[in-house]
Amino acid sequence: MNDILKLTITELIEKLKTRELRSVDVTKAALERIKERNDSINAYITICEETALKQAEISDQKLDDGEAGMLEGVPLGIKDLFCTKGIKTTAASKMLADFIPPYESTVTQNLLDEGAIFLGKLNMDQFAMGGSGETSAFGDTINPIKEEEKLTAGGSSSGSAAALADFQCFGATGSDTGGSVRQPASFTNTVGFRPTYGRCSRFGMVSFASSLDQAGFMARSVEDTALMFRAASGFDEKDSTSADVAVEAYDEIINDLEVKGLKIGLPKEYFVDGVDQKVKDVINAKVEQFKAAGAEIVEISLPHTKYAVPTYYIVAPAEAAANLSRYDGMRYGLRVEGENLSDTYAKSRSAGFGWEVKRRIMVGNYVLSSGYYDAYYSKAQKVRSLLSLDFEKAFEQVDVIFAPTTPELPFELGGKIDDPIAMYLCDIFTVSSALAGIPCISVPAGFTPEGLPVGLQILGKAFDDAKVLQAAKKAEDMNK
Amino acid sequence: MSEVDIKTVEKLARLSQLDFNEEEKATLQNEFGKIFDFVSQLQEVDTENVEGMTSVVKNASTPQRQDNPQNQISRDNLQSNAPSTEMGFFVVPKIMD
């Protein structure tokens, strides 16, 4: 492998600016790596060789002309649920297998405006529903950390995480509805950031659960993640939940945090018996490092944590059932002709959606149907309020919260796919924050004795994105 | 275990516009039992006087923008993914017999 592929984005930008490297050469090297490795790892669904090289040429010209954007000439991978104009966008589903969006998502447009190059579209769990990459209609993604053991790279942003860990891109977009950038980051020793809900426009992202969906950013360093986030975020009138709050220069202020005096909350509900001891050991060691550097460690309680997964698995399917009703085979997407209109709808949807998607649509319609609405959907929305309140109270006491990203280590592909509850429980530490809409990140914290990565999760209050990134940068620095 | 009868599964399939064979229906019935056992934990939470949270955006208002015509995507482009079109219209199966 060409060593330039191991550079971080910030290192690459330096070398592009001094012309030590040219974007065309870097892009070619990345494309070569992808083509060499895609059969083994399956991180990409679509490779954009021609357009990427064309973009790189333009970037090199802009760099020469002194017109470089924030990410000029940097090759990224894009999760295949961001609509990219003229480039197939499948959401890893047969339903959209041939869908070529006539428009660009706001997040990817913002990245393009800053000079980013798109290497291709990344594999994922179908419609972002899954935690292992296995619900993709285009095959499983293999975790490159221990390739021979066929472990999951996590999900739903499986391709994003695997491509980064395997040096097939310098940064990647993901999306996080209930943990979909943080859990894959934890499983692949990469950084995965979920911003405050509303920070990034959802326009042009294939919808799963609209009150939870948020663009996420993944990279091999916290600073890279901060830079991508800065480039992609901001108010967008095309998304009614977009927040009109000023974007900060997150990458430039990444070191502006004193660990001394930083109040770190450790929620007792996140360090319970069900958590793998090896995960706890790595996280506890990291907490000790912060303590030694002068941070104040405070035990806190988020009493409704236990109810986060059941709440999520009512709210998310309900919203999914509504969102995915648009796939009817009439205006776009798969159509399978039936005997009449209704039969065509059902045949198209049955052929287009995978099992997990169908199950969630069914669960969603159940909890929304009369007779069950109050007992399930309405109840879940109330518990969601309580989960959110837990965080509000906690942040009166502390600046940030530290926790494991997942209760367990990367598991074998096929290990949980037939047991929905076991799969859903993997999300136990990531869904509460998604339901509350607060910023959170998974940052590499270390390895188990067997060499499996463990992610530290850092959570902050709404719009405290900068502080979450800064604390993660400190955690990353302590790994050195 | 929470029981969901096969009639309910069939009704939901109709509402969801999805077809399932007998084996799939049985699998769903079984999975529904497990899932609803699991989510029923929520019943033990006291939510008296708690407002439901429908959005994380506090004091959410519906922002409005000027109603100016924009020509962002042409009809041809918009219809480029349609399974069937004719003279700029979407072609759909017969709705009434």
Catalytic residue numbers of A, as ranges:
79, 156, 180
pLDDT tens for chain A, 480 residues: list them. 899 999 999 999 999 999 999 999 999 999 999 999 999 999 999 999 999 999 999 999 999 999 999 999 999 999 999 999 999 999 999 999 999 999 999 999 999 999 999 999 999 999 999 999 999 999 999 999 999 999 999 999 999 999 999 999 999 999 999 999 999 999 999 999 999 999 999 999 999 999 999 999 999 999 999 999 999 999 998 998 999 999 999 999 999 999 999 999 999 999 988 899 999 999 999 999 999 999 999 999 999 999 999 999 999 999 999 999 999 999 999 999 999 999 999 999 999 999 999 999 999 999 999 889 999 999 999 999 999 999 999 999 999 999 999 999 999 999 888 888 888 888 999 999 999 999 999 999 999 999 999 999 999 999 999 999 999 999 999 998
User: How many interchain CB pairs under 8 A, A with B?
Assistant: 157
Asked if residues A191 and A443 have their Cβ atoms less than 8 Å apart, the reply is yes
- Comparing alpha-carbon positions, the chain B residue that sits nearest to A214 is B56
Among candidates A141, A192, A220, A144, which has minimal Cα distance to A405? A192
What is the three-class DSSP state of A111?
A: helix
Range of the domain at A142: 3-232
Measured CA to CA, the distance from residue A472 to residue A143 in angstroms comes to 23
Asked if residues A2 and A33 have their Cβ atoms less than 8 Å apart, the reply is yes
DSSP state of A377: I
* Binary contact (B93, A338; C-beta < 8 A): yes
| Sign of the alpha-carbon dihedral angle for A172, A178, A184, A190 | positive
Asked if residues A219 and A171 have their Cβ atoms less than 8 Å apart, the reply is yes
Contacts with A375 from chain B: Cβ below 8 Å:
43
Residue A292 lies in a domain: no
Categorize the per-residue pLDDT at B65 as very low, low, confident or very high, splitting at 50, 70 and 90.
confident
Q: Which residue has the tokens 């837990």?
A: A390
Number of Cβ atoms within 10 Å of the Cβ of B71: 6
Question: What single-letter amino acid sits at A441?
Answer: I
pLDDT digits (tens, 9 = 90+) for B8-47: 999 999 999 999 999 999 999 999 999 999 999 999 999 9
Mutation for A interface: B1, B6, B9, B17, most A CBs within 10 A: B17
Select from A332, A376, A388 the Cβ nearest to the Cβ of B82.
A332
Measured CA to CA, the distance from residue A187 to residue A442 in angstroms comes to 10
* Binary contact (B90, A330; C-beta < 8 A): yes
* Binary contact (A379, B42; C-beta < 8 A): yes
CATH number at residue A75: 3.90.1300.10
* Binary contact (A420, B94; C-beta < 8 A): no
Cross-strand bridge partners of residue A122? A44, A79
Residue B69 has pLDDT above 70, yes or no: yes
Classify B6-44 by CATH class: mainly alpha
Contacts with A363 from chain B: Cβ below 8 Å:
32, 35
- Comparing alpha-carbon positions, the chain A residue that sits nearest to B9 is A362
Number of Cβ atoms within 10 Å of the Cβ of A74: 30
- Asked if B41 has any chain A CB less than 8 Å from its own CB, the reply is yes
Among candidates A155, A39, A221, A140, which has minimal Cα distance to A47? A39
- Asked if B42 has any chain A CB less than 8 Å from its own CB, the reply is yes
| Sign of the alpha-carbon dihedral angle for A109, A110, A115, A116 | negative
* Binary contact (B81, A100; C-beta < 8 A): yes
pLDDT at res. A54: 98
Select from B12, B16, B45 the Cβ nearest to the Cβ of A383.
B45
pLDDT at res. B59: 63
State chain B's mean pLDDT as an integer. 89
Residue B1 has pLDDT above 60, yes or no: no
Mention every residue, 6+ apart, whose C-beta is less than 8 A from residue A431: A178, A179, A308, A309, A311, A312
Tokens found for residue A257: 């945090």
Select from A311, A346, A435 the Cβ nearest to the Cβ of B18.
A346
* Binary contact (B32, A366; C-beta < 8 A): yes
* Binary contact (B17, A420; C-beta < 8 A): no
pLDDT at res. B63: 73
Select from B51, B80, B81 the Cβ nearest to the Cβ of A385.
B51
Query: Rounded to the nearest 5 degrees, what angle is found at the Cα of A266, between the Cα atoms of A260 and A271?
Result: 145
Distance from CA of B33 to the nearest CA of A (A): 11
- Structural domain total, chain A: 1
Mutation for B interface: A211, A331, A373, most B CBs within 10 A: A331
Distance from CA of A46 to the nearest CA of B (A): 18
Select from A362, A385, A421 the Cβ nearest to the Cβ of B16.
A362
* Binary contact (B94, A346; C-beta < 8 A): no
Is omega for the bond preceding A201 within 30 degrees of 0, making it cis?
no
Mention every residue, 6+ apart, whose C-beta is less than 8 A from residue A251: A10, A223, A226, A227, A230
Select from B4, B53, B60 the Cβ nearest to the Cβ of A381.
B53
pLDDT at res. B97: 64
What is the three-class DSSP state of A435?
A: helix
pLDDT at res. A417: 84
* Binary contact (B17, A376; C-beta < 8 A): no
pLDDT at res. A423: 85
* Binary contact (A98, B43; C-beta < 8 A): no
Measured CA to CA, the distance from residue A298 to residue A282 in angstroms comes to 18
Assembly ipTM: 0.94
pLDDT at res. A426: 87
- Asked if B71 has any chain A CB less than 8 Å from its own CB, the reply is no
Find the radius of gyration of the CA atoms of chain A: 21
- Asked if B96 has any chain A CB less than 8 Å from its own CB, the reply is no
* Binary contact (A376, B83; C-beta < 8 A): no
- Comparing alpha-carbon positions, the chain A residue that sits nearest to B89 is A331
- Asked if B52 has any chain A CB less than 8 Å from its own CB, the reply is yes
Distance from CA of A365 to the nearest CA of B (A): 7
Maximum distance among all alpha carbons in chain A?
Answer: 71
For chain B, the structural domain boundaries read 6-44
